[in-house]
Structure 1
Amino acid sequence: MIYQRSLFSHKDFKTSQFQTLLADILTVFWGDWLELRVRITQIAASGLISPLIYILAFGLGLGSSIRPGAGISGSYGNYLEFILPGMVALSSMTISFGGTTFSICGDRLFTKNFEELLLVPVHPLALHIGKMLAGVVRGLMTSGSVILVALLFTGNWRFLHPLFLLLLLLNCAVFAGLGVIVGLTVRSLEAVGLYNNFIIIPMSFLGATFFDPGTLPGILKVVVYLLPLTYASIGLRAAAYLPLSQFPWYSVPILLVIAIALSLWGANLFSRQQD
């Protein structure tokens, strides 16, 4: 009887801890949401320009000279259909990372509101996930605009398939988590530009957004499959066009594991912040 009472008490304690962590996460997220909700239109449009340029230049321009099946595989009517899922992945990556990084940098380096956040009695993991969720919302706002463009161009409602949306959510979580880490570690906005130039921009072109990585030679294929955006791009493309029997199911756990690893890293950084 004493053992059973102790076991129930332990379970209640764990439940209470989880509820407290969840409440802390929502509290941190709500602080950012109050700022985001007044700029929904601006955020949704801010990351739409680059994908639209790529769609016009590569999809409608260059794409008109590329025959389906000539260098691309799958059930695509034209090259534009092939790159549209990649544009969704690209826009969600760019805004999730950039919006999160600049938001934290602004609080740390300019407004100094970050010091108040560190004084809040919440778990470091809650701080990371709360900030990450704000980045996820930014990414979903922008990629939602790209999905609307894709629906207008293709009429393919599988861009709203639950599996497509799950991969989109995971991709936003990965790059929002990376944005939190970069925002916590850089000492100037110039340093943010370096991360953008040496990580985000190269990944935009190498992350299987414009090509099928299966057609690459060995060493380049290894490099491309080291990039998380690759798994988002090929997964979104498969969810939009291919049957479930051909879906790369490995992309889901890979993105999930990366997001969890970045969350633990970010929580550790929050616990050691001295700003």
Structure 2
Amino acid sequence: MSLQTRLPIHKFSSSSTLQTLWSDCLTVFWGDWLDLRVRLVQVIASGLVSPLIYIVGFGLGLGSAMDTAMKPSAGANYLQFILPGMVALSSMVISFGGTTFSICGDRLFTKTFEEMLLMPVHPLALHLGKMMAGIVRGMLTAGSVILVAILCTGKVWSFLNPLFLLVLLLNCAVFSALGVIVGLNVKSLESVGIYNNFVIVPMSFLGATFFDPVTLPIALKVIVYLLPLTYTSLGLRAAAYLPLAQFPWYVIPVLLVSAIVLSAIGARQFSTQQD
């Protein structure tokens, strides 16, 4: 059976085509959800470990020294300052890693990926279904970090307001889409480790999670603002602590465009995938 789409791209404007695409997305997503729901506790707990270590080590340990030296640009103290960054960090790691390993497992071990490629659905539906599963993973883990943040600060609305959740959702979408692309291209689990070490780990520390990029020299500022996690950290921090008038609205189109571009790349990859 041909792996090419049965639905011409130029007909995407019709409601029936959109309904079919959405139905196909849910079908692909449901397959991943059936596997995910039996491991919910494991997924949430694994994504909570690193943020908790950073919160204790940096927020509580280093935080007292930082509070005496400077006043954070958002939040009452350094612990509050880094909490939105920890939400961004946890959602990035799980959205990317969970999606990547899910596709790698299907491709390299269970060998069920070929069956999915033979499904009579559009490549965009395949990508979006996998991406939706990654978003759910990221949101679940971020939810546990949000609970910790609420317990640490007592600010419920700061971490559960619609603007905060919108930025968080877009961040999960960006890194889930990136995880799909990486999962489709890596040849082994060792390759996933390389991507993690050279992309995710550096971004964890350089993505404005622990500092305000405004204070950086110009050369470093350029690098930091090339990272999508930077916009998530800035957006979550502003949505949590700053007045609406001070919210950096540019973070939403940046994250949205990033997710759309990565989705287009992933859909094209699905349409030509051979294994």
TM-score interval (norm. to shorter): over 0.9
Please give the alpha-carbon distance, in whole angstroms, between the structure 1 residues aligned to 2:168 and 2:266: 21
Q: Which runs of 5+ in 2 are unaligned?
A: 1-9
Residues 29, 129 of structure 2: 8 Å contact kept: yes
Secondary structure of 1:77 counterpart? coil
TM-score (norm 1): 0.94
Please give the alpha-carbon distance, in whole angstroms, between the structure 1 residues aligned to 2:263 and 2:23: 17
Residues 103-142 of structure 1 deviation map (CA, whole Å, 9 limit, x = unaligned): 0001000100101100100000000000000000000111
Residues 172-217 of structure 1 deviation map (CA, whole Å, 9 limit, x = unaligned): 0000000000000000111100000000000000000000001101
Measured at CA, do residues 211 and 27 of structure 1 come closer, stay the same or move farther in structure 2, by a change above 3 Å?
same
Measured at CA, do residues 85 and 14 of structure 1 come closer, stay the same or move farther in structure 2, by a change above 3 Å?
same
- Counterpart in the other structure of 1:65: 65
Residues 124, 263 of structure 2: 8 Å contact kept: yes
- Counterpart in the other structure of 2:4: none
Residues 207-244 of structure 1 deviation map (CA, whole Å, 9 limit, x = unaligned): 00000001101010000000000000000000000000
Secondary structure of 2:14 counterpart? helix
Measured at CA, do residues 247 and 69 of structure 1 come closer, stay the same or move farther in structure 2, by a change above 3 Å?
farther
Q: Which runs of 5+ in 1 are unaligned?
A: 1-9
Q: Percent identical across equivalent pairs?
A: 73
What code does the residue aligned with 1:26 have? L
Residues 209, 233 of structure 2: 8 Å contact kept: yes
What code does the residue aligned with 2:52 have? L
Residues 71, 77 of structure 2: 8 Å contact kept: no
Please give the alpha-carbon distance, in whole angstroms, between the structure 1 residues aligned to 2:173 and 2:143: 15
Measured at CA, do residues 140 and 197 of structure 1 come closer, stay the same or move farther in structure 2, by a change above 3 Å?
same
Residues 68, 77 of structure 1: 8 Å contact kept: no
1:25 aligns with 2:25: yes
| Count of residues in correspondence between the two structures | 265
Please give the alpha-carbon distance, in whole angstroms, between the structure 2 residues aligned to 1:139 and 1:125: 21
Residues 74-127 of structure 1 deviation map (CA, whole Å, 9 limit, x = unaligned): 3x2210000000000000000000000000001000100101100100000000
Please give the alpha-carbon distance, in whole angstroms, between the structure 1 residues aligned to 2:249 and 2:174: 17
Residues 68, 78 of structure 1: 8 Å contact kept: no
Residues 207, 230 of structure 1: 8 Å contact kept: yes
Measured at CA, do residues 86 and 68 of structure 1 come closer, stay the same or move farther in structure 2, by a change above 3 Å?
farther
Please give the alpha-carbon distance, in whole angstroms, between the structure 1 residues aligned to 2:219 and 2:35: 45
* Greater radius of gyration (CA): 1
What code does the residue aligned with 1:113 have? T
Please give the alpha-carbon distance, in whole angstroms, between the structure 2 residues aligned to 1:69 and 1:266: 46
Please give the alpha-carbon distance, in whole angstroms, between the structure 2 residues aligned to 1:91 and 1:80: 16
CA RMSD for the aligned pairs? 1.5
Q: How far did residue 72 of structure 1 move?
A: 3.0
Residues 12, 18 of structure 2: 8 Å contact kept: no
TM-score (norm 2): 0.94
- Mapping of residues 212-227 of structure 1, within 5 Å: 212-227=212-227
Please give the alpha-carbon distance, in whole angstroms, between the structure 1 residues aligned to 2:102 and 2:132: 13
- Counterpart in the other structure of 2:169: 169
Residues 9-46 of structure 1 deviation map (CA, whole Å, 9 limit, x = unaligned): x9998111111101000000011011111111111111
- Counterpart in the other structure of 1:101: 100
- Mapping of residues 49-88 of structure 1, within 5 Å: 49-67=49-67, 70=70, 72-74=72-74, 76-88=75-87
- Counterpart in the other structure of 2:89: 90
1:115 aligns with 2:114: yes
Secondary structure of 2:67 counterpart? coil
**Deviates further, 36-45 or 264-273:** 36-45
- Counterpart in the other structure of 1:138: 137
Residues 11, 17 of structure 2: 8 Å contact kept: no
Please give the alpha-carbon distance, in whole angstroms, between the structure 2 residues aligned to 1:130 and 1:68: 48
Secondary structure of 1:48 counterpart? helix
